[in-house]
Structure 1
Amino acid sequence: MCAVAPFLLPGLACAAPRAAPVLDVRPPTMATTYAEGVSAMWRGYCYDDDDGDIGALLRGIDAVVRPPKPADLPMPSVEFHAMSRRHGDHDADFMAMLRGIPSVRVRGAGHASVPMDAHGDTPTTPVVVLAAPRSYGDEGDSVTITKQQQQQQCGGEYDADMDATFRAMETDPTERPSEDYLSSTQAGDMMMIDRAELIKKMHHFSRFYGLAMGALHRAVSYVDRVLSAKKINGGERQRLLLGIAAVFAAAKYEDRSTSRKIDADYAAMNAGCTRREVLDAERELVAALGYRLSGPTAYTFVDHFTRHIQDQEEGAAVRIRSLAHHLTDMALLDYRCVALLPSAVAASAILLARLTVLGYSTVPVAGYAIEDMRECIEAIYDMHENLQVWPGCAQMMADWELTTRHRYCLPPLSMLIGMH
């Protein structure tokens, strides 16, 4: 049996008989926790000196809980108070150390005039002219390199290298489609109108999901190269599956965040097939291309040729670039442009865009003369004159006008003839 010792009032310490103890179960407190460390007399059942034990318990609790008073804290010694708070000779030693460090000496005349802010009395940071290294000239010379000089020194060499790389890649036979694959490889089962209809659906798919800019050009390049390499059986359904898989692969190549916008399920829904068929078609596409996916397109060359246009024509730069991209998009629909190099298509679009926006253009564009761009220019004019005949032309025109809030009219061909 468990016995519980009750607390007794001091005046009733010797009273008899004692009442039956009442079991009082309470959660542990600091007092009960501290009581575990007191003498063995408190743990027993002999309560001859209850007042003394409770007093000792309370004094112990007070020692634990009460915050320390200033008198309880250690006081600094007399020697500490006698020390100087100004560190005595430490300042002199520190200054001597600083004087021994070699440093660049600033002339006193440089502090005579400090530029002030026109809107306040707070001085601004002075403009520092750094002394040129000795390898640049005399010791007293200063070097001032402007942005234009940096572009001429570094940007010119970089642009030349990039242009040479793009020109070499676009002429690589392994990344060029056949000029007559509709009649040779496809054996007449696919016509020019069928190709234009397929590209129209690819454009709608790319625009509907807001895929990366330039993905459509890369996808059409993939489709032309695959159709040049092997015959596609299965009619319109297989062609649509090839086009959707090409857009899906090209968009992921252009922008790695494409997977957050669409996946194989969305592609399968637009192609009218299953997810497995889309993934299989994508793998077959990449294998047929020999895993060479990075060739430049007309979209690439438009950006490349107009990279410095803002320095010359600031107000019209955005419109020229936007219209040039739109014209190259329309050129995708014409099978005749497959035989042309992407750089020639881009140069033709830039020429027409400058004539449309500015009313004039400098020739040649990117090294192309008018004769070199004649075939592409005629194809673009032909599509504009027959918007309702070519599949996708009217839709591309409406989408561009809706996006840019602009309308345009190509200049007459007589302007191009006069430029020859």
Structure 2
Amino acid sequence: RGILVDWLVEVSEEYKLVADTLYLTVYLIDLFLSQNYIERQRLQLLGITCMLIASKYEEICAPRVEEFCFITDNTYTRGEVLTMESQVLNYLGFQLSAPTAKTFLRRFLRAAQASYKTPSLELEFLANYLAELTLADYEFLKFLPSIVAASAVFLARWTLDQSSNPWNPTLEHYTNYKPSDLKITIIALQNLQLNTNGCPLNAIRAKYRQEKFKCVATLSSPELLQTLFQT
């Protein structure tokens, strides 16, 4: 799963897809796999099919089926993709709307930016980077998307500025979370940021090492103080 998501990040970059498409793709993959068995060699087929479905839902101009076949070196035919698309959509009952971490992140970042005189692009890129890192990590499926988004904002603010508590009444009001509610997720997210497990999956890190994202993947956060989580 991790290798598949890592590759799909590269595909989304290649076709310049919006972040919502990537998040919805991963959501659809996980939802389908939760109740359906897929052979390992057909996981890539499921991945491009879910990205095709998500693209139709999120993009103004979605890539064609043939383009998704091409990106797999034509491992799968147009017919195979369309058959898989039918299977996935029928299983989902054509219910594609779902709040992802990106949905919440957009709102929470707006609240976080309120404490700055001018909006911080670095904060936005860093929070998005941290949230995207969780997509490829199976362990984060146990956390609610809203908690992942809030934790990404918390850790991004802490990474950029340790002079004050990264959480404030405005964020608590708009997220409905206290720092103590986020502690477990933030610690797990920091381990992911610092890559303490030596994870070889690199697409998201490579993406956010680019200048256009202010190289936020090169930043690391200092040790989290226990006082940050006291309410």
TM-score normalised by structure 1 residue count: 0.49
Q: Which residue of 1 aligns with 2:46?
A: 242
Contact 1:348 1:373 survives alignment (8 Å)? yes
Matches within 5 A, 1:236-275: 237-258=41-62, 262-271=63-72, 272-275=75-78
The residue identity in structure 1 corresponding to 2:56 is K
The alpha carbon displacement at 1:381 in A equals 2.2
Note the C-alpha offset of 1:405: 2.9
Give the distance between the partners of 2:115 and 2:195, measured in 1 at CA: 34
CA contact (8 A) 1:334 1:379 kept: no
Of 108, 118, 143, 1:340 maps to 143
| AA aligned opposite 2:65 | A
C-alpha change, 1:356 and 1:197, in structure 2 (3 Å) is same
Say whether the 8 Å CA contact 1:199–1:220 is kept in structure 2: yes
Q: Which one-letter code corresponds to 1:409 in the other structure?
A: S
Pairs aligned (count):
218
Q: Are residues 224 and 370 of structure 1, via their aligned partners in 2, closer, same or farther at CA, if it must alter by over 3 Å?
A: same
Question: 2: distance between equivalents of 1:387 and 1:269?
Answer: 35
Match of 2:223 in 1: 412
1:18-74 Cα offsets, whole Å, 9 max, x none, are xxxxxxxxxxxxxxxxxxxxxxxxxxxxxxxxxxxxxxxxxxxxxxxxxxxxxxxxx
One of 36, 44, 63 as aligned partner of 1:230: 36
Map 1:90-101 to 2 at 5 A. Answer: none
Please identify the structure whose Cα radius of gyration is greater.
1
Q: Hey, what's the Cα distance between the residues in 2 that align with 1:334 and 1:371?
A: 23
Q: CA deviation at 1:218?
A: 0.8
CA contact (8 A) 2:155 2:190 kept: no
Counterpart CA distance in 2 for 1:241 and 1:409 is 35
Between 1 and 2, higher relative CO (CA 8 Å, sep ≥ 6) is seen in 2
Question: Are residue 219 (structure 1) and residue 219 (structure 2) matched?
Answer: no
Pick from 396, 403, 416: which aligns with 2:204? 396
Percent identity between the two aligned chains:
29
Query: Which stretches in structure 1 are left out of the alignment for 5+ residues?
Result: 1-194
Kept in 2, the 8 Å contact 1:197–1:391? The answer is no
Is 1:207 matched up with 2:23?
A: no
What is the aligned partner in structure 2 of residue 358 from structure 1? Answer: 161
- Cα distance, 1:253–1:391 mapped onto 2, change above 3 Å: farther
Within a 5 Å distance, the mapping from 1:64-213 to structure 2 comes to 195-213=1-19
SS of the residue corresponding to residue 401 of structure 1 reads coil
* 1:229–1:288 Cα contact (<8 Å) kept: no
Aligned mate of 1:279, from 63, 76, 82: 82
Q: Distance in 2 between the 1:320 and 1:294 partners?
A: 27
Aligned residue type for 1:399: K
Match of 1:375 in 2: 184
| 1:320 and 2:123 correspond | yes
Cα shift at 1:316: 4.8
Instruction: Find the counterpart in structure 1 of residue 95 from structure 2.
Output: 292
CA distance in 2, matches of 1:387, 1:222: 28
Higher helix share: 2
Q: Aligned-pair distance for 1:336?
A: 1.4
1:320 Cα deviation (Å)?
1.4
Match of 1:306 among 84, 109, 121: 109
The equivalent of 1:135 in structure 2 is none
C-alpha distance after superposition, 1:331-360 (max 9, x if no partner): 112111111110000000000111122333
Q: Name the amino acid aligned to 1:210.
A: K
Which structure 2 residue ranges, 5 or more long, are not aligned?
none
8 Å contact 1:316–1:357 — kept in the other structure?
no
Q: Displacement of 1:204 after TM fit?
A: 1.0
Paired letter, 1:223 = I
1:413 partner SS: coil
CA distance in 2, matches of 1:368, 1:413: 18
Question: Cα distance, 1:220 vs. partner?
Answer: 0.5
Give the 4+ runs in structure 1 shifted more than 6 A. none
CA gap of 1:339–1:288, structure 2 versus 1, over 3 A, is same
Q: What's the secondary structure of 1:219's corresponding residue?
A: helix
